[in-house]
Structure 1
């Protein structure tokens, strides 16, 4: 634990809006770690509920989401992703969630949480945070690799209002790029599933960031091509790609891989497409705002996303 963070960081509520939490010890481990950092941690009463592959049935999870919004903690941190929020989108009280944001709540998560981030942006323009999950990150045991320093430090700085920029290394060819726009994005599969629905934020001139897992590069390419054909990529100032791991090679690939996919995407859009953003289903990840104006600056291979 970074000693600089060993102070009162406000209230943090752990809740389960999506997939079932299979290991209660991991949730307790996450709560203990977060408390050690300085948060006043509470776990929602239904965080460990189970119904099929979900953390409780739809009504139960929706009630938990609204319960957290009414409490308006400093941080509303999802336990895990999976699938489940899409089932709730038509019934979520978006103004209630936005009022929690106005009262100081940071809605944090990634993966399936993308549906909540983008729905909140589409319906209310309220910002949220693409960041770690309780069980997947803070609940990681030593045997699973434990918790690195970057992920919690960045997360804590973000929800404390101290984080104003993140930097990363990208590929050559973008030196001198300097653009401004609304920062938005998340999991590519979830994001594409919202296209054409009332929960899709119609962002023009934005900086779009994307990640995914267990999706073969051709499937990633197909989803990005859908966004291109729908006019989404062309409407952005830049596209930032995070991690796209977990896929299995096929004998049919014959050299086709993530690098090939990125080259194809770049060939079909004039919008700059950058790689290397440290987000996704990986142990080390940064926390980024969703729905806040930001600036992207490239010097050589050094990229900086700033919103301060």
Structure 2
């Protein structure tokens, strides 16, 4: 059964037009009806059109009646317009069955939407980097996307790295915890604003790209000093990619960052290895939904149950 997918650009301009075209073609090849927003390929400075243009595109995505609204790419641009987003229209669209999906800069919209309306959106793929990947779209990502579109996805699972086996063994089941988070840099930039979700007893998932481990640590410490991390039932780290270590580091790296965080937050399980981030193999995660988290040895299971109340 064909699904209607609306593609729009709320953040950075699409520079890799070839990847964008491949993404659209791939979605059509999967049998979907693809609608591309009129300003999807606009460019103004580093943005996909000026602020008003991008706000209008978000409004059209909300009014599209599509089964899924997919971003062309992330980058930067949503933080600038959080005070002008059509939150009610987006929440109504979600209520009617349009799933809003994205990652990276999209974290800003997801956080603000959760604060303003409580609506659930999805952390997931972008058109260019995922469906339009040069090596072809990732099978797991596509399967998860399908599960969402056809109302079959009820959870996800992954294996902890061997060095973290003890964390899995010590994990007691977590029930009914709101799942939230996303891109660490974008999320941290919202701290102290009205758009930062005040989630207590949640499951916080985090990822980032092109951020050196010391920057990752500094942002994690900002969340820790602000009391955010200690209030969670678990912190789940996805993929941190694209950085280069330097000679100056002398062995300082992400494993040490994680170990230190665990020693500072002994009561909060910190899990690693979540297949999400700026990587081909990514699962789709319901941002704002309540989840259960359980472990069987190194195998972690995150379950959100049946999320589709809408038949199209």
TM range (shorter): over 0.9
Give distance in 2, aligned partners of 1:72 and 1:258: 42
Q: 1:303 is matched with which residue?
A: 300
Structure 2 residue 142 is matched with structure 1 residue 147:
no
Say whether the 8 Å CA contact 1:18–1:54 is kept in structure 2: yes
SS of alignment partner, residue 212 of structure 1: strand
Q: 1:177 is matched with which residue?
A: 172
Among 155, 173, 185, the residue aligned to 1:165: 155
The list of structure 1 runs, each at least 4 consecutive aligned residues, that deviate by more than 6 angstroms after superposition, is none
Shift of 1:72: 3.0
Which blocks of at least 5 consecutive residues in structure 1 are unaligned?
1-6
Among 240, 265, 278, the residue aligned to 2:261: 265
Give distance in 1, aligned partners of 2:218 and 2:149: 35
Structure 2 residue 215 is matched with structure 1 residue 222:
no
Give distance in 1, aligned partners of 2:172 and 2:136: 36
Report 1:93-132 matches (<5 A). Answer: 93-132=86-125
Structure 2 residue 56 is matched with structure 1 residue 63:
yes
Structure 2 residue 73 is matched with structure 1 residue 83:
no
Q: 1:276 is matched with which residue?
A: 273
Which blocks of at least 5 consecutive residues in structure 2 are unaligned?
306-312
Q: 1:4 is matched with which residue?
A: none
Q: 2:310 is matched with which residue?
A: none
Give distance in 2, aligned partners of 1:202 and 1:25: 40
Of 20-29 and 115-124, deviating more is 20-29
Give distance in 2, aligned partners of 1:195 and 1:37: 39
TM-score, length-scaled by structure 2: 0.93
Shift of 1:24: 2.3
SS of alignment partner, residue 286 of structure 2: strand
TM-score, length-scaled by structure 1: 0.95
Deviations 1:167-217 (A, max 9, x none): 001121122421120011100000001111111111001011000011111
Give distance in 2, aligned partners of 1:247 and 1:133: 21
Q: 2:231 is matched with which residue?
A: 235
Aligned residues: 298
Give distance in 2, aligned partners of 1:257 and 1:105: 40
Give distance in 2, aligned partners of 1:147 and 1:68: 23
Shift of 1:11: 0.9
Structure 2 residue 36 is matched with structure 1 residue 43:
yes
Give distance in 1, aligned partners of 2:213 and 2:83: 31
Deviations 1:50-77 (A, max 9, x none): 0011111111011100111122311000
SS of alignment partner, residue 126 of structure 1: coil
Say whether the 8 Å CA contact 1:72–1:101 is kept in structure 2: no
Structure 2 residue 25 is matched with structure 1 residue 32:
yes
Say whether the 8 Å CA contact 2:130–2:138 is kept in structure 1: no
Structure 2 residue 198 is matched with structure 1 residue 202:
yes
Say whether the 8 Å CA contact 1:75–1:105 is kept in structure 2: yes
Among 189, 195, 204, the residue aligned to 2:185: 189
What is the root-mean-square deviation in Å for CA atoms of aligned residues?
Answer: 1.0
Say whether the 8 Å CA contact 2:102–2:124 is kept in structure 1: yes
